[in-house]
Amino acid sequence: MALVVQKYGGTSVGDPDRIRNVARRVVETVKQGHRVAVVVSAMSGETDRLVGLAHDLGGEVPEPRELDVILSTGEQVTIALLAMAIGRLGQPARSFTGAQMGMRTDTAHNRARIESVDTRILRETLERGHVAVLAGFQGTDDDGNITTLGRGGSDTSAVAVAAALGADVCEIYTDVEGVFTSDPRMVPTARKLERVSYDEMIEMASLGAKVLQIRSVRFAMRYGVKLHVRSSFTDTTGTWVVPEEQVMEQLVVSGVTYNRNEAKIRVRGVRDVPGIAARVFSPLAQEGVVVDMIIQNLSQDGATDLTFTVPRDAFKRALEVTRTTCGELGAADVDGDPNVAKVSIVGLGMKDHAGVATRMFQVLADEGINIQLISTSEIKVSVVIEEKYTELAVRALHDEFVDAGAGEPVAES
């Protein structure tokens, strides 16, 4: 008998038929002799609808605490519907909100971090032979305020529950058959990976592959949770996210990802003296703006240019803050471009292969795509380009590194 945590995303519980389909899958797993805790998302489109409602009120940005109260209702609906559907198949099931199950978080509304999971109720429920149906994406802080974990957060809820219960596996059921070499909705030739390492998956998730929330993968890696990403519509084996040593074929490039939520800001003619970067970036950090790539040009006549990227939804605020700071610093000019995207290649095999970045640049050059910023790490290369070229760039890179067989296993002998 195994203890299985299953997570079903929004599309998988998108309508009553799909909820019944999930219920059948859960009951099948129980019939195979396993104990099952199920984490669910809100029905597809529901979280967006709720965010929209809060904005429709007009005026200011919704108060984060109240927004969380609204957002948590999406998952509350699905847990009850799924518990009913499971019950109607003759299998007892009970639903629990984040508060009821003891999902404790910090107080950072809309992006809270999980601090602990109280497993008492969960264990009691499972020991009674019942299925525990749990609301993803939500918890409560020490004062009982409802919190949510940020978009895609149900993945992280599921991994946290699996870690806390010491589950044998955490199955992430979604609307594609696993983790692909690129977004299968953009790249028709993308293929499913049998295994992907935690490190690669963390990079892919942080660079735009939204199939898993990045924090869920970090969590899984830290607690050694076995993650299996698979489809809720088929029985096909999906993708296992595993430690690096268990990845059989180390592909040079296992993923081509993109992120359109990017914007670029450029500060020109700022004095090139110690402390300037700290002065430019501290006010942004204080405003909660996460700066991603940063490039500083060679200085000329004691002045230099700084270019950096921020999430597009923080662009306006970041530009205002930077203009104020740079006014104080006497910089020549600050401008920005919200229409950029980041395209990246990720792969463990890059560690042993020189020239991968150069090949990437050549592919983009051949397509006439100008590279605005570059950043590299041991297992990834990212470039910022004009947004309108995103699809072209992703397909061309996939063609070069995956389709053309350049992604063959790299072996030392």
Catalog residues that contact Mg ion under the rule CB under 5 A. 9, 152
Binding at 316: pick from Mg ion, ligand ADP, ligand ASP, none (beta carbon under 5-8 Å per type): none
Binding ligand ADP (rule: CB under 6 A), the pick from 74, 136, 139, 255 is: 255
Binding at 255: pick from ligand ASP, Mg ion, ligand ADP, none (beta carbon under 5-8 Å per type): ligand ADP
Binding at 151: pick from ligand ASP, Mg ion, ligand ADP, none (beta carbon under 5-8 Å per type): ligand ASP
- According to DSSP, the residues that pair with 264 across neighbouring strands are 309, 337
Report which residue type is found at 261: N
Residue 135 or 207 having the CB closest to ligand ASP = 135
Q: Is 176 in the site for ligand ADP (CB under 6 A)?
A: yes
Longest dimension (CA), the chain: 78
Binding at 137: pick from ligand ASP, Mg ion, ligand ADP, none (beta carbon under 5-8 Å per type): ligand ASP
Report which residue type is found at 164: A
Measure Cα distances from 266 to 195, 304, 309, 343 in Å: 40, 11, 9, 20
Residue nearest to ligand ADP (CB): 9
Residue 9 or 139 having the CB closest to Mg ion = 9
Strand, coil or helix: what is 16? Answer: helix
Q: In terms of Cα–Cα distance, which of 346, 6, 5, 2 is closest to 174?
A: 6
Strand 255-271 relative to strand 303-310: parallel, antiparallel, unpaired?
antiparallel
Residues found near ligand ASP in the complex (CB under 6 A): 9-10, 41-42, 47, 74, 136-137, 151-155
Residue 137 or 258 having the CB closest to ligand ASP = 137
Strand, coil or helix: what is 114? Answer: strand
Residue 43 or 270 having the CB closest to ligand ADP = 43
| Residues whose CB is less than 8 angstroms from the CB of residue 129 and which lie 6 or more positions away in sequence, other chains included | 35, 92
Residue 88 or 260 having the CB closest to ligand ADP = 260
Q: In terms of Cα–Cα distance, which of 224, 125, 119 is closest to 168?
A: 224
Would residue 90 be called left, alpha or beta, if left means φ above 0 and alpha means ψ between -120 and 50 degrees? left
Least Å from the CB of residue 339 to Mg ion: 26
Least Å from the CB of residue 225 to Mg ion: 17
Q: Is 209 in the site for ligand ADP (CB under 6 A)?
A: yes
Binding ligand ADP (rule: CB under 6 A), the pick from 4, 5, 6, 11 is: 11
95, 131 Cβ separation under 8 angstroms: no
Q: Is 292 in the site for ligand ADP (CB under 6 A)?
A: no
Cα 84 from Cα 82, distance rounded (Å): 5
3-state helix, strand, coil in the chain (%, to 5): 40, 25, 35
Least Å from the CB of residue 346 to ligand ASP: 22
Residue 172 or 193 having the CB closest to ligand ASP = 172
Write out the residues near ligand ADP by the rule CB under 6 A: 9-12, 41, 152, 174-176, 179-180, 182-185, 209-211, 255
